[in-house]
Amino acid sequence: MVDMIANINDKINGFVWGVPMLVLLVGTGILMTVLTKVFQISHIGYWIKHTLGSIFTDKHITKHTGEDDQSISQFQSLCTALAATIGTGNIVGVASALISGGPGAIFWMWIVAFFGMMTNYSENVLGIFYRRKNDKGEWSGGAMYYLRDGLGAKKGMKQVGAVLAVLFSLFCLLASFGIGNMSQINSIAGNMKSAFGVPNIITGVVLMVLAGLVILGGIKRIASVTEKLVPFMAIIYIVGALVVCVINIDQFGAVFGAIFKGAFAMKAVGGGIVGSGVKMAITWGMKRGVFSNEAGLGSSVMVHSSSNVKEPVRQGMWGIFEVFADTIIVCSLTAFTVLSSGLVDLQTGAVVSSSEGSALVGEAFATVFGKAGPAFIALAILLFAFSTVLGWSHYGTKAFEYLFGSKSTIIYRVIFIVFILGGATMSLDLAWDLSDTFNGLMAIPNLIGVLALSPIVCKITKNYVDRKIKGKKKEPMLSAFPDIQKMQAEDVDQMD
């Protein structure tokens, strides 16, 4: 029975992650880049100032909402989204891309990440524009809502939008247990056992308790934890990688040469596009791991929609920064660390080490930090993967809420927490493959929605640029729903 399921899954997986999916994912990013007049470059100073820069200058970005307000701050929404995207893919995925595609894979990672910025931007704009509040007072948004209320509002598309919304929620729900839970926990348990000799069952119990304390508290508690955890883990990892890169800085010329030369070799092109295409993921074959930044998947928009932001474009810019931080910074640093450490022949692009996955990155760190290198990577994976579990618990909760109502979400959270123990103790080859399939299936209805609603994204973007950048007086486009539009418009100038 298991073999039959595996065979069926392999066929579906091959279809999901084939050339048509590549065209859909990359093509959506290219289209949104063109339609928004290359927003990520033409307004680069503006979006950096109003994302990274605003963290230090605008109190509204980091200010926590009151106890009665179930929304979270813009910074918290970013950290929760990054918690889900900065995962094992940033370490294991990069190593896999280099092994399978050579140094040239990194070039294609950058190219597809560039276009993916605008896919993620578009998802967030639509997420804010079509979000609603549930009976708990929480914002609920995501692909399921803009499929139902956006695509479904078009003539003759009501049923199509409703069906795609349900399919997206179902795929997201199933993926949350695999890619967002068991596979992450399994990576942590394996690394803790090999690096420190901690039994898998002990790791599973401890993580289940810790996750339970956070997840059962809902989005506000998850956001409160991730806004502290994500900056800490990202900074520590970045500093460690920078130390390796600085010590090996004399290799950077050769590293850049290998990346650009390898990008146009057949092996590098194949590995690069397949490993970093859809979602700018860096894993070869776009499976066996978490996608690098989830652009196109439609997942992170669910937490971005919980933000207290009023302007859809403001949250869209956080989506651009999310891709930039995850892929251009964190993943690139991992790649440069490995490439400059002597573990890859920069002339041929072949990996000369027998290590794979996180072990390859650990070996690269060991060239500078000695035995502490692999231990450092084991701890990094602990933080990265655990934060991914927290982020995905919210995605699964929102999918469950859409399918069964907000009052039933406690059932999902309890089941999700129990699955953590299973993830630490089970052999998960099939679970990884199945979750990869559902992960990819999520992208199909989401991207259909983004493409169908691309004119709305353009109108909202133009409206914002005209008002906020060019100083024109226009009525803001804040929500598809008149009641929310009116409420948001009353204080948009004060908040945004």
Across the range 33-43, mean pLDDT stands at: 93
Structural domains of the chain, ranges and CATH numbers in brackets: 16-64+76-485 (1.20.1740)
Burial, 457: exposed, middle or buried (Cβ in 10 Å; 0-12, 13-18, 19+)? buried
Per-residue confidence (pLDDT) for residue 83, from 0 to 100: 61
Lowest mean pLDDT among 259-263, 299-303, 404-408, 449-453: 259-263
What is the DSSP track for 41-94? HHTHHHHHHTTHHHHHH-HHHHPPPPTT---B-HHHHHHHHHHHHSSGGGTHHH
- Residue 442 contacts residue 84 (beta carbons within 8 Å): no
Q: Find residue 351's DSSP bridge partners.
A: 344
Looking at residue 316, what is its pLDDT?
Answer: 92
Q: At residue 319, does pLDDT exceed 80? A: yes
Q: 73 falls in which pLDDT band (50, 70, 90)?
A: low
The SS3 of residue 362 is helix
> Residue 344 forms beta bridges with which residues?
351
pLDDT band of residue 276 (cuts 50, 70, 90) is very low
| 355 Cβ neighbours under 8 A, 6+ residues apart | 343, 362, 363
Residues 6+ apart with CB under 8 A from 319: 117, 120, 121, 123, 124, 295, 300, 301, 304
Task: Give the tens place of pLDDT for each residue, 200-240.
Answer: 888 888 989 988 888 888 777 777 777 777 778 878 888 88
Contact between 136 and 466 under an 8 Å Cβ cutoff? The reply is no
Q: In sequence order, what are the residues at sequence separation of 6 or more whose Cβ sits closer than 8 angstroms to the Cβ of residue 427?
A: none
Q: Tell me what the pLDDT averaged over the chain comes to.
A: 79
For helices 200-215 and 409-425, what crossing angle results, to 10°? Answer: 160
Distance CA(488)–CA(125), nearest Å, equals 15
Angstrom distance (rounded) from CA 47 to CA 416 = 36
Contact by Cβ (8 Å): 386, 211: yes
Number of residues that make up the chain = 496
The token pair that represents 488 in the structure block? 């948001």
d(CA 7, CA 10): 5
Distance CA 229, CA 79 (A): 8
Q: How many CB atoms lie within 10 A of CB 7?
A: 10
Closest alpha carbon to 94 in 280, 324, 296, 346:
280
Query: Is 394 within 8 Å of 412 (Cβ atoms)?
Result: no
Residue 283 scores a pLDDT above 50: no
pLDDT exceeds cutoff 80 at 23 = no
Is pLDDT larger for residue 130 or for residue 331? 130
- Report residue 310: phi and psi, to 5°: -105, -40
The tokens describing 135, both together, are 């009976």
Judge whether residue 14 has pLDDT over 60. no
Task: Tell me which of 161-165, 211-215, 343-347 is least confident.
Answer: 343-347
Q: Which residues of 188-218 are buried (b: 16+ CB within 10 A; e: fewer)?
A: bbbbbbebeebebeebbeebbeebbebbeeb
422-440 pLDDT, tens digit per residue, is 877 776 555 556 666 777 7
What are the CA-CA distances from residue 379 to residues 39, 49, 334 (Å)?
37, 32, 15
At residue 229, the pLDDT reads: 77
Confidence at residue 446, expressed as pLDDT on a 0 to 100 scale: 93
Interatomic CA distance for residues 372 and 358, integer angstroms: 14
pLDDT of residue 150: 94
Whole-angstrom Cα distance, residue 467 to residue 183? Answer: 45
Tell whether the model's pLDDT for residue 450 goes beyond 80: yes
